[in-house]
């Protein structure tokens, strides 16, 4: 028989048998699927009855009977997930995706499980990435699932994908407007992409659309604060407190907003109420100390800080609050005493680098105010070790070296800063000062003039050069520079103040007074100007009653400023009100023992009171002090005269 014919006959003869076999396999598969479905239903029933292991066996058996189905394994994964057997849930869902890569239920379960992992402290970026990938897959195929949508939006925010969160949440807002959780997340997304106004508007709509929770109100108030709208923040925080009057956190936030809104008295009322209910509320006490300082209630501020230290003996906040009180009272030695111990065991306390840096900055500044430049340089050296590229620490270290008479060390520090901070006005200013102190004043001028040419629209560049001129008593050049700056920046009080000071130093008193009065027209409470003008009048013996009024206003703004206390004491001395002059000059002398002028003033007062020994002691401190603006020979003559008086 022909080969082709033979093959055809064989195929024709086998066809019935093949058809029977195929039918048999189909019947077996159908029977398997039917049994799998029965086992699936049995699994559901067993789970409802609490027989989890029985349900697991049923689903496993069902999956074996229907090897193409991913849904049965996805259901098994759900059982595991509902019982917090997450590793088994992940394994089952992955097995489901091996069978059916598009299985929506498995993607959903994996997405939610990995999202939960990512939200834990031990969560990783990989967990978050896997969660996003699976939830995006689930979102493509599932009907809208609010839980999936919100979880995915949170993950976008967590993984720096805020624009994607905005797109997703805006879509949700259209479909279901007014839901507070959607609004909260959308506001957060807007904030992350820099759309603060849209964030505020979104939460305002949520608040206007129903009965907002305390949480929503607090979030809106927080955004108002970030936008600088502190009065609006206060109003919303007040509503949040009404909803949840026992919430300490909300009261603290309200008090902070009141303080920023320049309502410290009301802030104190809120905090007093909070601390009465919760005497150990550490942040409440910290804020209370800050509020009392704002109100110039220094004793009350110190009391709150000390209470905080008692509540939290090893904590940082109490020490910082107390140091701030001492700093504003100009008790710089006590600032050092409070904060320096924190630096000795910073690692044991678990202080973060930025916390250590903040303490170093405060301690170094206190040493500078005490004229302890070697001590300040040691503190700033540690700051540079901690933050090698810090312009603040590097600049302050160089300045401390300059003030300590160590120009070579200052030059070394500045050389190391050049690459990181090339073109910095701070570095240029300090380089010029080193040149000037080494005798090349003109080279320093050239540096600063070049810096000014590059910054003609920045008042600080004029001030830096003017200060340099003033330091080396080149007053005419300083005046010329500052007058040109004052014409450019007509209402800049810093320019006007420096100009007034330089005019006074160069003997042009009426012109100086005019500049100072211009500042007071712009800002009647400008304390530095009130002091300078008041002292200038007192020192010249002119309009002494007006001088006292000006200086009392300065001290009202800054009651522990030693320079201001000395100025008012000197005005009273000139008015021959010695009883009022003495406590002021004594306090100024104690605070600024290194200031030769202040010690000289106290000596003159003691002489007038006939207390020659005290006068001599004050003048000896004047000779040992900074020597600024005093004539050494004149003080020595006064000491000689006082000693002769004692010998009589």
Three-state DSSP at 525 gives coil
* Joined tokens for residue 456: 């003609």
| pLDDT of the residue at 514 | 96
- Is the pLDDT at 31 greater than 80? The verdict is no
| pLDDT of the residue at 8 | 41
Confidence of residue 29 (pLDDT cuts 50, 70, 90): low
- Is the pLDDT at 25 greater than 60? The verdict is no
| pLDDT of the residue at 145 | 82
Cα–Cα distance between 351 and 344 in angstroms, integer?
Answer: 11
| pLDDT of the residue at 178 | 62
| pLDDT of the residue at 470 | 96
Confidence of residue 6 (pLDDT cuts 50, 70, 90): very low
Q: pLDDT, tens digit, for every residue of 604-644?
A: 999 999 999 999 999 999 999 999 999 999 999 999 999 99
CB 154 within 8 A of CB 182: no
- Is the pLDDT at 24 greater than 70? The verdict is no
H-assigned helices in 244-390: 248-260, 264-277, 282-294, 298-311, 317-328, 332-344, 346-349, 353-369, 373-386
- Among 296, 341, 352, residue whose Cα is nearest residue 318: 341
Cα–Cα distance between 256 and 233 in angstroms, integer?
Answer: 10
- Is the pLDDT at 561 greater than 50? The verdict is yes
Q: pLDDT, tens digit, for every residue of 428-482?
A: 999 999 999 999 999 999 999 999 999 999 999 999 999 999 999 999 999 999 9
Confidence of residue 347 (pLDDT cuts 50, 70, 90): confident
CB 497 within 8 A of CB 462: no
For residues 300-326, b (16+ Cβ closer than 10 Å) or e, as one string? bbbbbbbbbbebbeeebbbbbbbbbbb
- Is the pLDDT at 369 greater than 90? The verdict is yes
Share of the chain above pLDDT 90, in %: 70
- Is the pLDDT at 10 greater than 60? The verdict is no
- Is the pLDDT at 327 greater than 80? The verdict is yes
Mean pLDDT of 503-531: 96
| pLDDT of the residue at 350 | 86
Is the pTM higher than 0.85? The answer reads: no
DSSP 294-334: HTT-HHHHHHHHHHHHHHSTT-SHHHHHHHHHHHHTT-HHH
Confidence of residue 7 (pLDDT cuts 50, 70, 90): very low
Q: pLDDT, tens digit, for every residue of 373-413?
A: 999 999 999 999 999 999 999 999 999 999 999 999 999 99
Domain ranges in the chain are: 593-648
CB 469 within 8 A of CB 432: no
Higher-confidence residue: 412 or 10? 412
Angle, helices 71-82/86-99, rounded to nearest 10 degrees:
170
Cα–Cα distance between 482 and 486 in angstroms, integer?
Answer: 6
Which residue, chain included where needed, has tokens 């919430």?
Answer: 247
Round the average pLDDT of the chain to a whole number and report it: 90
User: In this structure, how many other beta carbons lie within 10 angstroms of the beta carbon of residue 30?
Assistant: 10
* Joined tokens for residue 340: 């320096």
| pLDDT of the residue at 72 | 85
Cα–Cα distance between 405 and 434 in angstroms, integer?
Answer: 10
Q: How many residues does the chain have?
A: 648
Mention every residue, 6+ apart, whose C-beta is less than 8 A from residue 342.
316, 319, 349, 351, 359
User: In this structure, how many other beta carbons lie within 10 angstroms of the beta carbon of residue 422?
Assistant: 9
Cα–Cα distance between 599 and 596 in angstroms, integer?
Answer: 5
For residues 230-247, b (16+ Cβ closer than 10 Å) or e, as one string? bebbbebbbbbbebbeeb
| pLDDT of the residue at 28 | 59
- Is the pLDDT at 315 greater than 90? The verdict is no
Q: pLDDT, tens digit, for every residue of 183-215?
A: 999 999 999 999 999 999 999 999 988 788 999
| pLDDT of the residue at 69 | 83
Whole-angstrom CA distances from 435 to 99, 375, 392, 408 are: 78, 24, 21, 10
Q: pLDDT, tens digit, for every residue of 61-114?
A: 877 888 888 888 888 888 888 889 989 988 988 988 898 898 888 888 998 998
């Amino acid at each position: 028989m022909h080969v082709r014919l033979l093959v055809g006959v064989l195929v024709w003869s086998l066809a019935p048998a093949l058809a029977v076999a195929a039918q048999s396999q189909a019947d077996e598969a159908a029977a398997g699927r039917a049994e799998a479905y029965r086992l699936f239903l049995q699994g559901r029933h067993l789970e409802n009855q609490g027989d989890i292991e029985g349900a697991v066996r049923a689903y496993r058996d069902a999956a074996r009977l229907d090897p193409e189905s991913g849904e049965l394994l996805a259901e098994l994964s759900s059982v595991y997930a509902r019982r917090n057997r997450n590793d088994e849930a992940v394994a089952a869902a992955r097995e489901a995706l091996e069978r059916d890569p598009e299985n929506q239920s498995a993607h959903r379960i994996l997405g939610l499980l990995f999202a939960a992992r990512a939200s834990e402290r031990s969560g990783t970026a990989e967990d978050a990435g896997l969660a996003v990938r699976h939830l995006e897959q689930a979102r493509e195929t599932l009907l809208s699932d609010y839980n999936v949508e919100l979880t995915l939006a949170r993950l976008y925010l967590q993984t720096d994908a805020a624009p994607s969160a905005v797109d997703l949440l805006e879509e949700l807002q259209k479909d279901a407007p007014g839901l507070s959780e959607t609004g909260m997340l959308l506001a957060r997304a807007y904030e992350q992409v820099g759309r603060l106004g849209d964030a505020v508007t979104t939460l305002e709509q949520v608040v206007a659309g129903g009965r907002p929770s305390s949480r929503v109100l607090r979030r809106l108030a927080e955004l108002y604060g970030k936008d600088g709208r502190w009065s609006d923040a206060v109003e919303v925080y007040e509503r949040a407190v009404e909803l949840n009057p026992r919430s300490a956190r909300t009261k603290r936030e309200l008090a902070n907003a009141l303080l920023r809104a320049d309502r410290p008295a009301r802030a104190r009322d809120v905090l007093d109420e909070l601390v009465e209910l919760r005497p150990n509320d550490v942040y409440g006490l910290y804020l209370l100390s800050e509020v009392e300082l704002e109100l110039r209630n220094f004793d009350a501020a110190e009391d709150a800080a000390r209470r905080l230290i008692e509540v939290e003996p090893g904590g940082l906040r109490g020490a910082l609050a107390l140091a701030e009180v001492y700093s504003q009272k100009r008790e710089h030695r006590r600032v050092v005493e409070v904060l320096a111990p924190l630096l000795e065991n910073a690692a044991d306390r678990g202080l973060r680098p930025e916390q250590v840096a903040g303490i170093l900055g405060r301690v170094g500044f206190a040493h500078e105010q005490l004229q302890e430049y070697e001590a300040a340089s040691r503190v700033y050296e540690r700051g540079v070790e901690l933050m090698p590229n810090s312009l603040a620490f590097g600049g302050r270290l160089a300045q401390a070296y300059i003030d300590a008479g160590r120009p070579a060390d200052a030059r070394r520090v500045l050389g190391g800063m050049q690459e990181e901070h090339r073109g910095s006005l701070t570095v240029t200013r300090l380089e010029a000062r080193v040149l000037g102190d080494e005798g090349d004043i003109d080279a320093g001028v050239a540096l600063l003039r070049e810096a000014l040419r590059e910054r003609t629209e920045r008042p600080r560049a004029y001030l830096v050069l003017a200060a340099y001129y003033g330091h080396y008593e080149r007053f005419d050049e300083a005046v010329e520079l500052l007058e040109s700056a004052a014409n450019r920046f007509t209402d800049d009080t810093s320019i006007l103040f420096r100009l007034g000071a330089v005019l006074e130093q160069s003997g042009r008193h009426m012109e100086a007074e005019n500049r100072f009065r211009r500042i007071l027209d712009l800002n009647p409470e400008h304390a530095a100007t009130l002091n300078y003008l008041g002292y200038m009048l007192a020192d010249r013996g002119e309009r002494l009653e007006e001088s006292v009024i000006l200086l009392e206003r300065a001290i009202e703004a800054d009651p522990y400023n030693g320079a201001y206390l000395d100025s008012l004491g000197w005005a009273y001395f000139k008015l021959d009100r010695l009883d009022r002059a003495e406590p002021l000059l004594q306090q100024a002398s104690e605070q600024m023992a290194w200031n030769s002028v202040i010690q000289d003033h106290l000596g003159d007062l003691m002489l007038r009171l006939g207390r020659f020994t005290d006068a001599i002691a004050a003048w000896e401190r004047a000779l040992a002090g900074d020597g600024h603006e005093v004539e050494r020979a004149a003080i020595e003559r006064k000491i000689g005269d006082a000693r002769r008086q004692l010998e009589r």
